[in-house]
Structure 1
């Protein structure tokens, strides 16, 4: 909305720039769609009573207290439904903070600036930190790692400046839920139900450590596919990148290296599964995401790449819509108006990208380094998961000599058995070198569940092949599939 930049000395109350900033904020307020709208007369008594409480220094009250105040107005009292409407409108215009969510609707912040003061406990410039002691140590650790223990958060809130508002544990728990709702604090994705991750929070907006070089170079050209979201209007605002990273680490568990969460300034590394990691970082106008397999990019499942892309794209769309609504711009129905998607690979330590629309029209592209890249693997980001047949010009995997030497994962076996079907499985199983007795034993044990029978048959073939000191490879699967005329199942099975 505004392209002015204000440089303010916050320690100087007479700084003239503060006045110009104030004028600009008033100008923005005038442009809000709610400016000048008349308040329903029936709301006036309750609005005045809350304003009086605000003037008396009250910052937070329970919803039950508001309902009691409303009932005391007797003939001017509102129904509970109208009180709810009143609170939601007051929240929308910024006079209060009220969230109609199960964990949040019991309290109302009638002085929104109080939340800013609460955030100062852990989101503040280094120059305002205590010089030494426990509080300094907590903030140092938070800045370096982005990790905030729940007990440490409550220790920060135990300072005299915050005790007035955070008077009891119930209010503290409410404020924690608000900060989680606003994505300022993030509960890390748990690996399992026994994980103790609930005892800590991640704070993407405060971590200052840059991503280490050794993690960056893990994204090599033979193991990595890339996708980038190129924002058309401006560089990616810090708040947007923090919110996107917060959304990502709610979906995938953060990777740990040397007992440290891989959360960095505008970057994060997450475990997609046991064999693949997701690396996200923001730079200039682009949000980059890398999907890195521990052996080869040829083993990255198209389903995994596409699901990852869909999650990231949806999160980015919602965040952009939120920011556009916040500054009164129109809602965008077509996301291409906001960003362009590019896909690519790593080349000589750099990211080589091509617009997605171009990649879908060609098999190769040449990058600035003069290298010729195939679009096959980058296009796995937009793989059609409902596609049942290969394209007429598909050449299969016969020319993919590197791929044929690789070992399929459990996930590849799952995909392949989905396409095979029980009708094809017997002949396929025999052409893999297994016996009719092997098949009969499987059929007897898993008769009621054909999918389990086929999958256990694949595992049995792999174990038997490996025990004979011969690797179970894609090449051997392809030979068996060719023998039954189903060689393209490997293409579709990812």
Structure 2
């Protein structure tokens, strides 16, 4: 006999982003369809939002609570006839139930002290914001904020407070700060970066799944012209050729969190399936989703027609790759392509698979109105590290010492990923009191155990797996 949880996923478009909360390797999924309809028929996305209640067992774990704090969990654990004795075992217990979809638990700085015992509670909180039109229309001041949210995806704290406060039967208002942090963590909403023309603290969020307006066609032009030079277009898709819109919306949320949104005539350049972001030194990043392909390119604005910075391009490439592989856990395989910046962004006939370009000196682009030829290195140079980056060279002790200053609290997980045993890591932690010295000890131990193979490539892959921003670590270490 085993406990079972059953969930009915909401089918409306805006709820696609919430499905991932319940996706697990330890689950069976049933897709029900009406075979009397043609597979290409459009389904009307109605405004009827039905409850999706899970048949929840494991009541002995949840105690009818939505959220529990770590110290309270420790107290309850100590009252059990056979308590979990070690902190490592408790972490394993929490990670297992997180992977199973029973709870939500993250070891991040902000969320490591809390466990969401009822994931449906989190979905209901988000749903209450999206479906609050009837409530808001009775309050003119609030209704204006809701219309702004519905049309531009801008979610203000004033609107959040009003909606969650009116539902006296829920605990949304009691845990409002925590709920917003979880909604950010899951990529449902994102607080934008401070922009140069904004004064004071940012007190609003973007909800990409609510965006409805398509980007204007002239915004998607990426060819070179006077005072503007653009990279080739880097394209991501899956080997199956299917990439859910919800994945792109979460990427868009991650970009909103990382870079300031560009503006044109004081309007945010963020749309359904598209976002434009300000990078340093007059660079702009374009992120566009079309036909299951994520397209990214960077444009440099300069009176001297300077080329876009390869360092910035590679940083963006690493960021998007890490996001898809590790944060989205896309297991069907990521395929990466390039297209020239003169080709039609809506024509996928001119994609060159990145993996197959290294052996070619030139490629022919069949873009209208005329065919033209590109040197392969001119397309690749922006996005890939050159040989001078020495990713396959063994790291020196000096390089490891510099990186140790920037790796942070996930160093023990990094040690495990690099092949060190728990006992070896514990010995290092006993030998050194300072965190940075412990990190140095772990990295040097790894180097000693892998003579000739302790390379930057291996270390970067390990950092990406455990959630460390490898690009930031490497670039910051170079500055020292």
TM-score by length of 1: 0.58
Q: How does 1:26-425 map to 2 (within 5 A)?
A: 29=27, 49-51=60-62, 53-54=63-64, 58-73=65-80, 75-79=81-85, 81=87, 82-124=89-131, 130=137, 133-160=140-167, 164-168=170-174, 171-191=175-195, 196=200, 198-217=202-221, 219-222=222-225, 223-225=229-231, 226-295=233-302, 299-320=307-328, 322-324=329-331, 337-347=333-343, 352-357=350-355, 359-360=357-358, 361-369=360-368, 370-375=370-375, 377-385=378-386, 387=388
SS where residue 270 of structure 1 aligns?
strand
Once the two structures are superposed, residues 423-477 of structure 1 have per-residue CA deviations (whole angstroms, 9 ceiling, x without a partner) of xxxxxxxxxxxxxxxxxxxxxxxxxxxxxxxxxxxxxxxxxxxxxxxxxxxxxxx
Structure 1 CA distance for aligned equivalents of residues 353 and 24 of structure 2: 41
Unaligned runs of 5+ in 2: 1-7, 13-22, 31-57, 390-480
Larger Rg: 1
SS where residue 214 of structure 2 aligns?
coil
| Residues 172, 313 of structure 1: alpha-carbon distance in 2 compared, 3 angstrom cutoff | same
Task: Answer yes or no: is the 8 Å Cα contact 1:188–1:197 preserved in 2.
Answer: no
Number of aligned residue pairs: 334
Task: Answer yes or no: is the 8 Å Cα contact 1:60–1:165 preserved in 2.
Answer: no
Q: What is the RMSD of the two structures over their aligned residues, measured on CA atoms?
A: 3.8
Task: Answer yes or no: is the 8 Å Cα contact 2:344–2:367 preserved in 1.
Answer: no
Structure 2 CA distance for aligned equivalents of residues 28 and 105 of structure 1: 23
* Equivalence for 1:484: none
Once the two structures are superposed, residues 256-288 of structure 1 have per-residue CA deviations (whole angstroms, 9 ceiling, x without a partner) of 222222111121001122422111111113111
Between Structure 1 and Structure 2, the one with more helix by share is 1
Cα shift at 1:383: 4.8
Task: Answer yes or no: is the 8 Å Cα contact 1:145–1:260 preserved in 2.
Answer: no
Cα shift at 1:118: 0.4
* Equivalence for 1:415: none
| Residues 149, 95 of structure 1: alpha-carbon distance in 2 compared, 3 angstrom cutoff | same
Task: Answer yes or no: is the 8 Å Cα contact 1:143–1:209 preserved in 2.
Answer: no
SS where residue 381 of structure 1 aligns?
coil
Structure 2 CA distance for aligned equivalents of residues 374 and 354 of structure 1: 11
Cα shift at 1:197: 5.5
Unaligned runs of 5+ in 1: 1-5, 11-24, 33-46, 330-336, 389-494
TM-score by length of 2: 0.60
Task: Answer yes or no: is the 8 Å Cα contact 2:287–2:297 preserved in 1.
Answer: yes
Structure 2 CA distance for aligned equivalents of residues 195 and 385 of structure 1: 41
Once the two structures are superposed, residues 94-129 of structure 1 have per-residue CA deviations (whole angstroms, 9 ceiling, x without a partner) of 222233333223333222211111011223497997
Cα shift at 1:341: 1.9
